[in-house]
Structure 1
Amino acid sequence: MNTGDNVIISAALTGAVTPKDINEHIPLTPEEIAADAYACWKKGAAVVHLHMRDDEGMGTMDKRKFEETIRLIRSHEDCDVIINCTTSGDHRASDQQRMEHVSTLNGIEIASWDAGSFNWMPGGVFMNSPQFLGKLAETFLNRDIKPEIEIFDSGMLGVANYFAEKGVIKTPMHFQFCLGVPGGMAATVENLLYLVNHIPADATWSAFGIGKHHLPIMYAALALGGHIRVGLEDNVYFSKGVPATNPQLVARAAEAITLQGKKVATPAEARRLLNLPPLKIPVPSPALAMSH
């Protein structure tokens, strides 16, 4: 579905692996992640995508860290950003550990649903069995959490359609096209166009490219009528050799949207586009929304 002039910016603040040695601005603690989430919202991000890190800086699915980060974000009474949590932040985690936060915590509006398994080169198999995906989809359905259907290769579209036809995933679906992961679909405009042309007409979608593919895929997604994701999870440089910050990447995305003649979607507008209920605690829109 082409969503017109409103474009949602999602900020993926920190992944599961990249250390501060590569970019000192990568947030690791709940305090750092929440501070970046608030700063990105002020720059125009309607959604923040959350991973957690353990005390050694590695990805973790520790429910308490998700809970603390969400609490800190929501402690800003003016901040109505949409909270989107990963379900694949630690390759060591069991299926149950991957679902614990979405099964029990309040305040999660969207969560990732990685639509298949593949060889994530060169590290190992990124495992998402049909059994796990079915249980995860049922958990989302029971807790009124919107699946962000992450697509790393074209065959995963069929997996998403299977569960939608079973009624476990509500329609219209929302897809996140993750391009450029070694072992997944290459980050090319041709591949993005193929994916966009093979999703249901009523679906919404967003896209990002890893590393140096970040900008080409961002501009292609804007041209094709989609939404965009930016952030240090996917790309740690602002330009060649220059480390980025999350707010910088969001600000550049907002500028690109404006230059395209489109509008940066507020969280309230993003909730309408994604068929999410309004935030239960009404808060004012960010200053950025009023200034655009």
Structure 2
Amino acid sequence: MGRPLIIEVRVNEYAMRNSNPNVPWTPEEISRDCNEIREAGAAVVHFHARKEDGSPAFDAESYAASIRKIRAGSDILIAPTMGQIHVSGDATRFQHYVALEKMDLKPDFVPIDTGTTNIDRFDFSTNTFDTKHKVYLNATETVERFIGWTHDLGMREQLFAWTVPMLRTGQALYRMGLLKTPVHQTFLLTEGGILGGHPGTVAGLKPFIELLDPAVPMVWSVGCKEGDLLGLVPYILQNGGHISIGLGDYGYRELGTPRNVDVVRKVVELARQYDRTPVTPDGVKELLGM
């Protein structure tokens, strides 16, 4: 057995189907993908509730419909989104987790971004921004509040850092005694014209790794919003990281018209070359002390 590897699949985000027709939207499609990716070696799924036409859905029942079907088909751990910039107000952003707990459909993880960034998209073909007002706001008091509410509901926080300042904030939260340990941390690189995160390259990832505080116990993974993560997978595996990948971030048309399971199989293939063994959901719980 090689060193353990957590594979999380970001199955849909808010991606439409122009990049890949296999992006899952409906509860049936999401649960189907979960069954397939779990069988292939993934242990965690991150999903966004969507309507049948692919538009975002933010009501608790839309999340519940997918979670019911996911749990009926597999034991994969579940991390539904908080809604990013599409929902405002702390209580409103968190309300579906509260409702899901009351429905006995409590997710396993709550993704929490530990800082603020701009997510306007820059068009390199015209050298202009498509928008100039999209601020993804996460004040420190908001982040602390989300962590407290997450613990109150018996769930585990998953911190996301788009930039080094967000990583430093997460490490400060650990020093405050606010986080479960080891810290569950994802570095989210950004491409596709989104300049609010580090680029999806080795140069973009290295500062995170170099600035890890050895006094902070951490299990870290890497994702790439709107970018191809596969080229970085060997570097991540060699440096002890875990993988957060999926059609929600990038269509992977280099593989044809893949499904999420095809991307997972590619990661597993690479993992074997670097002596990394995908873990089960129980393995994730063991690594995170859950």
**Shared fold per TM-score greater than 0.5:** yes
1:256 has 2:277 as partner = no
Number of residue-to-residue matches in the alignment: 269
Selected match of 1:195 from 208, 213, 232: 208
* Matched-pair contact (CA < 8 Å) for 2:106–2:155: no
User: For 1:60, what is the secondary structure of its paired residue?
Assistant: coil
The alpha-carbon distance between structure 1 residues 103 and 127, as it changes in their structure 2 partners (threshold 3 A), is: same
Cα distance in structure 2, aligned partners of 1:152 and 1:226:
16
Aligned to 1:208: 223
TM-score, length basis structure 2: 0.86
> Segments of 4+ in structure 1 off by > 4 A?
none
Residue matched to 1:143: 153
Structure 2 unmatched runs, 5+ = 122-130
* Distance of aligned partners of 1:89 and 1:211 in 2 relative to their CA distance in 1, 3 Å threshold: closer
Distance 1:212 1:159 in 2: 25
Q: 1:172 aligns with which of 177, 182, 191?
A: 182
Deviations 1:236-269 (A, max 9, x none): 12417x3321011011111111122221111111
Give the aligned partner of residue 29 of structure 2.
32
Cα RMSD, aligned residues only = 1.9
The equivalent of 2:46 in structure 1 is: 49
- How has the CA–CA distance of structure 1 residues 92 and 55 changed in structure 2, closer, same or farther, with 3 Å as cutoff? farther
Cα distance between partner residues in 2 of 1:90 and 1:52:
15
Q: Matches of 1:54 and 1:134 in 2, distance apart?
A: 31
The 3 A distance-change label for structure 1 pair 199 and 103 is: farther
Aligned to 1:275: 289
Q: Take 1:58 and 1:193, find their aligned partners in 2: how far apart are those partners?
A: 35
Distance in 1 of aligned mates of 2:178 and 2:222? 24
Residue segments in structure 1 that go unaligned for 5+ positions in a row: 277-292
> Could you say which residue in structure 2 is the equivalent of 1:125?
135
TM-score by length of 1: 0.85
Call closer, same or farther: CA 1:97–1:35 in 2, change over 3 Å: farther
Query: 1:74-105, CA deviations, whole angstroms, 9 ceiling, x for partnerless residues?
Result: 112xx221111211355244432220122232
Q: Which residue of 1 aligns with 2:126?
A: none
Counterpart of 2:173? 163
Match of 1:72 in 2: 69
Structure 2 residue matching 1:75: 3-state secondary structure: helix
Q: Tell me the percent identity.
A: 26
